[in-house]
Structure formats: structure tokens, C-alpha cells
Structure 1
Amino acid sequence: MLSFIEIIIVKIKYRKIVFQNVGKNSVFKLWNSSFIYPENISIGDNVYVGPGAYFDATGDLVICNGVIFGPEVTIYTRSHNYDSTCLEALPFDQKMVVAPVVIKEYVWVGTKVIILPGITVGKGAVIAAGAVVTKDVPEYAVVGGNPAKVLKYRNRERFEELASSQEPFVYNKKGHGKEFITKEKLLNK
């Protein structure tokens, strides 16, 4: 439960946060998150943004339906100009290079992931905790590492079967409760 002082701080800090678009059933952990240029952030239905998010949408950020972000995810849509052919100061100059980031449907972004400017994350992809995404992620790919590389692909047929069902989004279908099971038991079902 937030104290009266904490409630006042939250109201002051987030009084001007107005996203370009927010779909239904989207949840944000605003208390310790930062949204830079929130008017450039478009959010679909059933999006969950975990605590400690840092989304810099200077160059536009599109988050499609059913995306889940773990805690402390960072997304950049701008970078300093450091290109030596047009550089005016060192180590970089005052110019900011912007490029949009697009996160497609039903992507799961793990804890402490960093996504750099100009990236498109394909539908159904999974980004492992701690990954640094420096290039586009294909549909249904599971990526991890620094820089993030494709580790494997999800089962496309099962994904599409679930996506076409009446209510595919995990929190609407199963709630927020967790069931703990070993990998061996899961594979032997």
C-alpha cells in the first residue's frame, strides 16, 4: 500500500504521461519506470510492462497486442551521432540519430533486455533475459546473448493455433497465478 506521500509523488511524476495510444487491458508499473516522449508510444491490447521499464520513444515506439515485458527492460529509439564522416565533436556530437522500434504481437521480452534503435521484433518472438538486441528479430525466434542471436524457433503451428483461439492472451486466459513444474514433467505430459 502506497503512503500518502508516495501517492502524491506518483501523481506529480506521471501527471503528464499521455501515450499516443493505449489498448484495453494494458498494465504498466509506472512507479519506477520512465517513458521518454510517451506521446510517441503506441500500445496495443493486453500489454504488460514490468517494473523499472525505460522506454525512450524519441523516434517512435509501437508495441502490438499481447506483448509482455519483464522487469527493467530498456528500449532506445535514438543514439548519438558518432559517425566519423560527419562528426563535429568527440566522442559524439549534438546530433541524435532516431529510428523507430516495433514490437509485434505476442512477444515476450525478458528481464533487463536492451533493444536498440531501428529494431523490429517479429510476432511470437521471445527475447531471453539480459539480451542486447542489435538487429531485427525474426517471427517465432527465441534470441539471447549480447549481441542477441537466434537460439531456436518456437513451434509455429502451435503458436498460430493458440493465436487464433477466442482468448489467447495468458493473463486473460489463465490469470496471473503461477504453476511451478519441472521441465521433465512438462515434456512428459
Structure 2
Amino acid sequence: MIIKNPKYISIGNGFAAMYNLRIEAWDKYGEQKFFPEIYIGNNVVFNTDVHIGCINKIFIGDNVLLASRIYISDHSHGEVNSEALKVAPVHRKLYSKGPVIIENNVWIGENVSILPGVKIGSNAIIGANAVVTKDVPANSVVGGNPARIIKVLV
């Protein structure tokens, strides 16, 4: 288990996680300074190999279930433009397109990636191997790369 900067991380009651958990709240990268906030609600369960990286904000609501090999990040190494290509990825400034918000009662399937600036509505189901690049409405099932709505539940 790797927990970077626990002072920026809040975890509610009833949390459970299996092995290889990696939660990173980056407050400094090179000369950059950040004020990260990671909030994990009540009764949240992480299976194995969950990786969360934060420089801005990641919010996970109550009763959320994450399968194995999940990646959630609110940032990337550099913006996606031609200027960034002039710098090696490891030396690019970290850049956030916005927070990741996962509301209550969400089920995230195996091997899912959730990228910056995404909001996942309550009761959503994220299918295995999905890459979530845009908001997911409440009460919907999404899947694919990039993730798209497969079914609306209500």
C-alpha cells in the first residue's frame, strides 16, 4: 500500500481495500505546488490494484464499489499540445482539467480508467475496460473506449 500525503486524504467509515492500493495526493511536483483534496465516503470498497492520483480534487461518494485495476486521476503530465512535445513527459508540468466526482452508489468495473474533469452520477455502472473521458449521467450504464451510454436504468 502506498499513501502519499495522507493529510490531504479523508476516508469515511466502513472503508475496505485489498492489496496494492496506491493513493497519491501530490502537493509538489518539481517547482509546482498544489492543494490536493481526496475524499472517500462511507462504505466504499476497493478491490486490488487501485491507483488514485490527485493534484486538484477527487471525490468518491458513499457506497461506491471499485473492482480491480482501476485508475482515477485528475491530472496529466502536460497539456495536450505541440509545445508539450518539446519536453520529455516526466519533466512536463502537471496539469488538471478539473476534479473527478463520483457520486453515491456507483459500481466501477474491472480495469476502468477515469480521467480528469469527469463527473459520474449516482447509481451509474461503469463497464469493464471502459475509459471514462466525459461525464456519466446518474442511473446509466456506460462502457467502451471512450465510454458511452449503453443503457439508462430509470
Q: Which has the higher helix share?
A: 1
Partner of 1:20: 9
Q: Which has the higher strand share?
A: 2
1:28-54: CA deviations, max 9, x gaps?
A: 22x312111186210111100111001
1:46–1:116 distance in 2 versus 1, CA, 3 Å: same
SS in 1 for 2:149: strand
1:42 aligns with 2:39: yes
1:109-160: CA deviations, max 9, x gaps?
A: 0010000001000111000010000100001110000010000011x3xxxx
1:74–1:14 distance in 2 versus 1, CA, 3 Å: closer
Larger radius of gyration: 1
Q: CA deviation at 1:60?
A: 1.4
Amino acid in structure 1 at the alignment position of 2:129: G
Map 1:122-161 to 2 at 5 A: 122-154=121-153, 156=154
1:18–1:91 distance in 2 versus 1, CA, 3 Å: closer
Amino acid in structure 1 at the alignment position of 2:60: I
User: Structure 1 vs Structure 2: percent identity of aligned residues?
Assistant: 31
> Following the alignment from structure 2 to structure 1, what is the Cα–Cα distance between the partners of residues 8 and 46?
13
Q: CA deviation at 1:19?
A: 5.5
Give the superposed CA RMSD: 2.3
> Following the alignment from structure 1 to structure 2, what is the Cα–Cα distance between the partners of residues 15 and 106?
26
Partner of 1:94: 92
> For the Cα contact (< 8 Å) 1:120–1:136, is it kept in 2?
yes
SS in 1 for 2:86: coil
> For the Cα contact (< 8 Å) 1:82–1:91, is it kept in 2?
no
> Following the alignment from structure 2 to structure 1, what is the Cα–Cα distance between the partners of residues 5 and 134?
32
Aligned pair partner of 2:20 in 26, 29, 32:
32
TM-score, structure 2 as length reference: 0.82
Amino acid in structure 2 at the alignment position of 1:33: L
> Following the alignment from structure 2 to structure 1, what is the Cα–Cα distance between the partners of residues 123 and 142?
12
> Following the alignment from structure 1 to structure 2, what is the Cα–Cα distance between the partners of residues 109 and 37?
21
> Following the alignment from structure 2 to structure 1, what is the Cα–Cα distance between the partners of residues 7 and 117?
23
Q: CA deviation at 1:82?
A: 2.6
TM-score, structure 1 as length reference: 0.68
> Following the alignment from structure 1 to structure 2, what is the Cα–Cα distance between the partners of residues 52 and 138?
26
> For the Cα contact (< 8 Å) 2:38–2:57, is it kept in 1?
yes
Partner of 2:51: 54
Q: Structure 1: any 5+ residue segments left out of the alignment?
A: 1-9, 157-189
Q: Structure 2: any 5+ residue segments left out of the alignment?
A: 27-35
> For the Cα contact (< 8 Å) 1:25–1:47, is it kept in 2?
yes
- Tell me the matched-pair count: 142
